[in-house]
A and B are shown apart, each in its own frame.
Chain A
């Protein structure tokens, strides 16, 4: 039976380390904030101020209404007229404009069609420019040549703000990275400094060491989650529609899973450096690519879809997006929560078995 007093002795010592070691505090507080700001502003998937050249041959009230509709959004910015002498091809190559809008002479009378040319060397932006432009044209009430009138209603994120998408994703990404780093470094540091040797001579069991290491970081991880959430909401105006206690419960499970992943890493890594590389390697790219953070899981090949089952963030993303954007309750999230709990227990057992109480 693990002894509570031994676990407490290890946990208390860990708290002293945390409070006195500035590098831990940097990992816990500074790193997440920097990541949030860098990722948040750099990975912005909205378009803004796209340089647009308008070639208005009609110059009547209808054409002016259309151009105004474009200008009045934040999405487009008119390119000065003098560039108008250039061919669209040259404009795009010289990066003077990313789109051109040609309005024919009889627009508003016999002619209803306008031509939008888009530079698609960056296909994602091109796609978005097209969508925004269509939206603007539709909003003016001018008919396009498509015969069907399709109106989509977009729920949960009506403005399709990408911050709604990446802030919950960043919480998932940052938490798993930070937590896996914390436990793996904390144990490998003791191996590197030789202090582990002194613990191994004592009657402490592997389970007691692991619990003693996890408990303080569990509190820290939750604190970290709250900070990222608060900063994310303040900087990027993401809503929080669910229940806070539901958030705490499921985030607790996710933090636990991430810490246990770090424990697993520490049973393999002998130095802090190795632990750091492994912890980052096992969390950063898999979470970015395979959790549904950037790319929808449903559009992945079947083999990769299966792989997402072992990525903790794929469960937490459902949870955090569900809570923040849809206001999900426990009943709607319990399956994802149980998966996280199962992963934690499994990793803890494997870590305890792999943890060597002797030197090699």
Chain B
């Protein structure tokens, strides 16, 4: 589904992403872990075409992301780190807008997403102004908006920051279901417990890959009891700075 080789992003003299090579398969939940500034968001932005790589290659479904950007954009859904739905629109109007710019019929899309809306408890809030929704519901609405055009590939940049643990669990339940239905999910997070939900994770530091693999296998390899411990070990941090 996603292939990158020697992916580099340079801002001036600062290398935000340095030689990242990835191979992500269909239906996979792939996690980006790392401290703030490790290069997670920059990588995700390159993968969904928002930023142009300084060098290296990205192919999505075997299509080059620069040459076939138009085609690729139809295939991906994106939920940015910063909440970016329109607060002065009703929830349903936001969804209508996203259906509109992806040119899909709104009613069928809404029917298709009904189970998720139900699971998220959003069905009854569709006519509320988006700004009046609690933070957790805003995040859920963002995810639904990113799914309006039924993309096979979904990018979620820190989707659960600022959300309580219960809501995070529910959110991950939906992510899991989406992956089960065949969608590829790329997610970044700084919650280490969330990494357990991922099929594979990459741990990044200063733009570089420091570890890549299945969470369970990585824990075994580094002899760590949990992801938090693994993370610190991999980064070579002795005390819990996070």
Q: Measuring CB to CB, which residues of chain A are less than 8 angstroms from any residue of chain B? A: 3, 5-6, 8-10, 12-13, 16-17, 20-21, 193-195, 197-204, 358-359
Contacts and interface: CB of A to CB of B under 8 A. Distances in A.
Given A16-B89, A17-B88, A203-B74, A6 B101 contact: yes
Contacts of B80: 194, 197-198
Contact of B101 (A10, A16, A20, A194): A10
A12 B100 contact: yes
B64 interface: no
Contacts of A195: 84-86
Given A201-B48, A202-B73, A358-B52, A17 B100 contact: no
B164 interface: no
Contact of B50 (A10, A13, A201, A203): A201
Interface string B151-170: 00000000000000000000
Given A3-B103, A204-B101, 4 more contacts: A10-B101, A13-B89, A199-B101, A200-B50
B98 to A, nearest CB: 8
Given A198-B80, A202-B102, A13 B86 contact: yes
Contacts of A203: 70, 73-74, 101-102
A20 B89 CA distance: 8
Contact of A17 (B51, B83, B86, B98): B86
Contacts of A200: 50
Contacts of A204: 101
Q: Which secondary structure dominates chain A's binding surface?
A: helix
Nearest to B99: A9
Nearest to A359: B50
B50 A197 contact: yes
A358 B93 CA distance: 25
B190 interface: no
B73 A201 contact: yes
Contacts of A193: 84
Contact of A9 (B52, B84, B86, B100): B100
Interface string B87-106: 01100010011111111000
6 contacts: A9-B100, A12-B97, A16-B93, A197-B80, A198-B78, A201-B76
Contacts of A202: 73, 98, 101-102
Most buried by B among A5, A17, A195: A195
B176 to A, nearest CB: 23
Given A16-B93, A359-B45, A198 B100 contact: no
Contacts of A17: 86, 88-89
A358 B51 contact: yes
B230 to A, nearest CB: 32
A21 B88 contact: yes
B88 to A, nearest CB: 5
B100 A8 contact: yes
Contacts of B45: 359
A6 B104 CA distance: 10
B101 to A, nearest CB: 5
A203 B89 CA distance: 22
B78 A201 contact: yes
Given A13-B89, A359-B51, A5 B84 contact: no
B49 interface: yes
Nearest to B102: A202
Contacts of B84: 193-195, 197-198
A220 to B, nearest CB: 17
A6 B85 contact: no
A124 to B, nearest CB: 48
Nearest to B100: A9
B82 interface: yes
B82 A16 contact: no
A12 B70 CA distance: 23
Nearest to B51: A359
B227 to A, nearest CB: 29
A9 B101 contact: yes
A20 B88 contact: yes
A336 B118 CA distance: 59
Contact of B49 (A16, A21, A358): A358
B51 A6 contact: no
B86 A201 contact: no
A288 B103 CA distance: 45
A230 to B, nearest CB: 29
Most buried by A among B49, B51, B101: B101
A159 to B, nearest CB: 49
